[in-house]
Structure 1
Amino acid sequence: MLDDLKESMQKSVEATQRSFNTLRTGRANAAILDRVMVDYYGTETPLFQLANISTPDATTITIQPYDKGSMGQIERAISLSDVGLTPNNDGQIIRLNIPQLTEERRKDLVKLAGKMAEEGKVAIRNIRRDAIDDVRKQEKNSDISEDESRGLQDDIQKVTDQFTEKIDGLLAKKEKDIMTV
């Protein structure tokens, strides 16, 4: 039971890490485009399935569509997304220039990272709640004793604390990354 719990909580930590990767920190990172969806022939399609995305230097992301006819839709999707970058199209490649972050924008990104971390912690607490409910059901059905139930609940809380600390560690690392000029 605890192994399943740890596995579920680890998935929440990994999802939080992926969310952090979508935040830009002043350096070009193709992961900031992971959530961009393009309306491609009436279907919402992830950008990375429609184009080759690369970072030739620290301040530029290039997007080379596999289908040149989709350039307009890709540009529009980037403009409408929450990425906050303006695409430049030269007919072959779309370039995104990453500007240096202002102090105010850095603070906004730290707040956003905090929100993402809190969502990860909520997911972990929901997993804990479900596990504790299962233990209480087993106790109620007399499948396990009251002492076993208390012991399992304590173990579940310890595991929850470990994974919450992992998310806090990821958040601290991301905050440092964002605030570094």
Structure 2
Amino acid sequence: MIAEVLSDTGVRMDKAVEVAKEDFAGVRTGRANPQMFQKINVDYYGTPTPLGQLAGMNNIEARTIVITPYDKGALRDIEQAIRDVPNLGANPTNDGNVVRVSLPELTEERRKEYVKLVRTKAEDAKVAVRNIRRKAKEDLESLKTEVGEDDVARGEKELETVTKSRIDAIDEALKRKEAELLEI
């Protein structure tokens, strides 16, 4: 029973770490990255749809992305959705077949804003991991009558080890992203 709780907790914490890494990938650096555009919601025939489901994206230059929609009727909607994204500073152009997105060079002030944003996302991920730990701890406490206090205490120590490893993974991803953002 304790092993099941710890296994489930580990899986849920891994998902929280992956979400944090995906969020980090969505924050732009000096280079254009198609992942930045994956989660942008486009109003596609009245339904908010992630851009990654509507179009293929290619990096053609360091700061330029070409977005090729699967449905040419969505070109204007895609262009508008990209233009409406705050903090992106992108300038999309539509040539009738593809949308070209040129990203301006990041200023030092902008880089620092992005570092703050990434730190906030990292803290949110750590809070998610801690909430998962709290729930697992409650589950372990409820098993005390069935398996005994000693086994629950060992389970809680293992839970702390699992939690620390996931928090460290988030910190490591944060450190890499900060270095990437501050690189000129």
Please give the range of the TM-score, normalised by the shorter of the 2 chains.
Answer: over 0.9
Q: Matches of residues 21-170 of structure 1 in structure 2 within 5 Å?
A: 21-82=25-86, 83-139=88-144, 142-170=145-173
Q: Is the 8 A contact 2:17 2:170 kept in 1?
A: yes
More displaced 10-residue stretch of structure 1: 28-37 or 59-68: 59-68
Q: Is the 8 A contact 2:89 2:103 kept in 1?
A: no
Structure 1 unaligned spans of 5+: none
More displaced 10-residue stretch of structure 1: 80-89 or 30-39: 80-89
How large is the Cα RMSD of the aligned pairs? 1.1
Structure 2 unaligned spans of 5+: none
Partner of residue 175, structure 1 = 178
Q: Partners in 1 of 2:54 and 2:62 — Cα distance?
A: 23
Give the alignment's TM-score, normalised by structure 1. 0.94
Q: Partners in 2 of 1:171 and 1:126 — Cα distance?
A: 20
Give the alignment's TM-score, normalised by structure 2. 0.93
SS in 1 for 2:27: coil
Q: Partners in 2 of 1:12 and 1:170 — Cα distance?
A: 13
Q: Partners in 1 of 2:32 and 2:129 — Cα distance?
A: 31
Letter in structure 1 aligned against 2:113: D
The CA deviation at 1:145 is 1.4
What is the percentage of aligned positions where both structures have the same residue? 42
